Structure formats: C-alpha cells, structure tokens
Amino acid sequence: MSTAPDSATAPSTPILPPLQIGKHTIDSPVVLAPMAGITNRAFRRLCRQYGQEGLRAGGATGASSLYVSEMITSRALVERTPISMRLIEHDPDEEPRSIQLYSVDPVTAGAAVRMLVTEDRTDHIDLNFGCPVPKVTRKGGGAALPWKSTLFASIVAAAVREAAPYDVPVTVKMRVGIDDDHITFLQAGKIAESEGAAAVALHARTASQAYSGHADWSRIAALKQAVTTVPVLGNGDIWSADDALRMVAETSCDGVVVGRGCLGRPWLFTDLAAAFAGSSARVEPNLAEVSSVLREHARLLVEFHGDEGRGCRDIRKHIAWYFKGFAVGGQMRQQLGLVDSLASLDDLIASLDLSQPWPSEAADGQRGRAGSARKVALPEFWLDSQELNDEQRAMIALAEESVSGG
C-alpha cells in the first residue's frame, strides 16, 4: 500500500496510551464497530492485517485494535442456530476474540454469556444498546432499552456476573438517547460503570437520528466527565485518522470506535494505528492496490460462506465503497454490482485503468447508511415511565424471538 509522499516515516510521542479493556491491552486504542452483514470473520481478518501494519509502523506489537463481531441475538445463540454459531467463529490467530450480544432479557443474556465463557468461545463481550433499527427498537431493544433503567442495569449485571469468573470483560455500546426529549447516555453510562462494565462506548447520535446529520461529540466529552473509573470510547463521524485525533482532542475520550468509516477502507486501521502512535503516515492506494484489496475481500468472503456464489453476492455491496472517488464509470459499476464469480470479478478489474492514483478528497467522506431523522418505533406506552409495567414485562420476555441476530 502506498502512503502519502510527504508522510513522516518515524513515529513520535504516542497520542494515547494503550486501551485497557479488563485484562486485555489494546495497543492501538481503536475498536471496529459491529456492523450487521459487514464485520464477519472475513472483514475482520482484513482489518486486523492492516491494523498490524500500522502498529508495526508505530514501533509497537500486540493486539492492534479490538475487532468486534456482528451483533448476535442472545436467544439465537442459546438455541445454537446455525447462523449464530457461524457468526461467533474466529480465526485461530484472532485475539482477543470479541462478540457483540443483543438482548432484552437478563435471563437470556446471562445464559448466552454463560455459554460463551464456559465453552471458551470469546475473550470479550460487548452489549448492544445502540441499534436504532425499527425491528429492534419496537421490541424495546437496542437504543430504546436504556430508557428502562432497571432493565438496562439487570442485563448488564447478568452479563458481568456470568463473565467475571472467567475473566472475560463486558463492555456496553449505546447512543445518546431515544430522541432529544429522552436522553439516557449519562444515566446509562453511570449504571454500566457501577454494574461492572469494563468500558462504555457512545455513538454520539440519538436513535431518532439513526445515521443522519452529525454526531454531537460534546456528548462524548460529557460522558467522559461522568464516567471516571473505566474507559470511555467515542463513536460517530470518524472517516479518517485525522477525525479520530480530533475527536480525542475535543472530548478526552480514551479511544475511538470506527464503523462506516472503514467501509471499503480496511486500511483505515493502518492509518489509525500510525496516527495514535504519533506518526503522520497515511495510506493512499492507487486503483490497482484498491482492486487487490477488494479481490482479497471477495476471496475471504467465499471462504467464509463456503460458497463462491454467495461470497460474490456478499462482496457486491462493498464495491461502491472501495471505488468511491475513482473514475470507474456507471456501466462498469453496474456490471461489478452483478458479479457472480471470482473469475468474472477478475475480468472486470482487469478492464479498469488501474494506474489511477488515490483521488484524495473525492474518496473522503460518508459511506454506508445515512438516511434522515425519524420517529423511533417503540412499544406502546414505552416512554410513559422508565420502569417496565406488567404488560411490557411480558412483551420483553417474548421479544427476542422475533428479532433476528443470527
């Protein structure tokens, strides 16, 4: 991979110390955010490879960053559905092994964590309280759940209770709140800290924002002031290593969580590791290099799915992200979006002008979901109280059955 020609090649003083998540020391204080259909074993492997390159450039060794799995529903895991069992698979050299769980019920959450730790399937568990997707929030899950403060506390407590004897840290990822009138992050952060969470991560948007507008980084700074005994991680609008450095400078957070910023840019982890080590080296690949990464991603997806057709269908959504800013052409993009074999992908890549340099600003900025602000889908009367009523308690007991997470 090419780096910017005027980049510094020697690291200087680290910007942040390593991130400590329970017993795990993460040399580059960066977390790959769980993304449905994205952060499977194939994509995590690519990101890890580039993170290690950045770590070596910064003169360090060890776990480059923390790479979290896709969100997995606790009930599906307890029932050992084939999809959930595949989603919790890790590469032999993947360390620490990290899994994100979704749950709306403390009993099910505890059972899922117990399965993972007693069977030695993970080294770190993250709890999802940030998902804004309607099929999740209308059942009281994801970003809707911290509003019910006692339920939130009981789920975190159940997970920590089961994981602690095995020295597996539990972290919490959440949003600012449901909407501007129902802000939950400060209360939730303090609860998570008091119940034994090893770190808290804040996506600085409300559920009603979804992925629209701008993340309000001042909320991360406020959480850092409120939560004092465990790391606070910032998430939202990190599209480059310089964005990450700016977030840390503005909020004093202990590390960053990167989601959409690495779509079509797994080498962002090289940049992040180098940046936090104090180096200004940045990766600026030409089209030949980007195409090579895309092709390797496709190969890994074929391997992950065990099916060439399915792996090639999976890579289609990534293609526009990889080629953003390059002169590829509409017809070619359409053909790439229909690729059905590695051989056809090779033929299409070979027809491109692979000598194109990195397109700089044209390649920057938003990728992935955006959309617009919306009213959050919630269970009936959810906002009337921060405690569950009897009807909501019965609904919660059944809610995980209808939310697919694996």
Q: Could you read off the pLDDT of 99-119 as tens digits, one per residue? A: 999 999 999 999 999 999 999
Would you give per-residue pLDDT tens digits along the chain (406 residues)? Answer: 655 534 444 446 778 999 999 999 999 999 999 999 999 999 999 999 998 776 565 555 555 799 999 999 999 999 999 999 999 999 999 999 999 999 999 999 999 999 999 999 999 999 999 999 999 999 999 999 999 999 999 999 999 999 999 999 999 999 999 999 999 999 999 999 999 999 999 999 999 999 999 999 999 999 999 999 999 999 999 999 999 999 999 999 999 999 999 999 999 999 999 899 888 889 999 999 999 999 999 999 999 999 999 999 999 999 999 999 999 988 999 999 999 999 999 999 999 999 999 998 878 777 766 667 889 999 999 999 999 988 888 887 777 765 544 4
Q: What pLDDT, in 10s, does the model give residues 157-176?
A: 999 999 999 999 999 999 99
- CA–CA dist 320, 304 (Å, integer): 21
- CA–CA dist 143, 131 (Å, integer): 5
CA angle 400, 403, 406 (to 5 degrees): 100
- CA–CA dist 406, 392 (Å, integer): 24
**Residues tagged active-site:** 131
Three-state DSSP class for residue 54 = helix
Strands (E) across 236-368 are located at 255-258
**With DSSP H G I counted as helix, E B as strand and the rest as coil, what are the percentages for the chain, rounded to 5?**
45, 15, 40
Q: Which two tokens stand for residue 243?
A: 């964005």
Three-state DSSP class for residue 200 = strand
Alpha helices in 175-240 (DSSP H): 185-194, 217-226
Q: Do 72 and 84 meet the contact criterion of CB atoms below 8 Å apart?
A: yes
The identity of residue 102, as a single letter, is Y
Q: Which two tokens stand for residue 211?
A: 């992925």
Tokens 């209808």: give the residue.
402
Q: What pLDDT, in 10s, does the model give residues 33-62?
A: 999 999 999 999 999 999 877 656 555 555
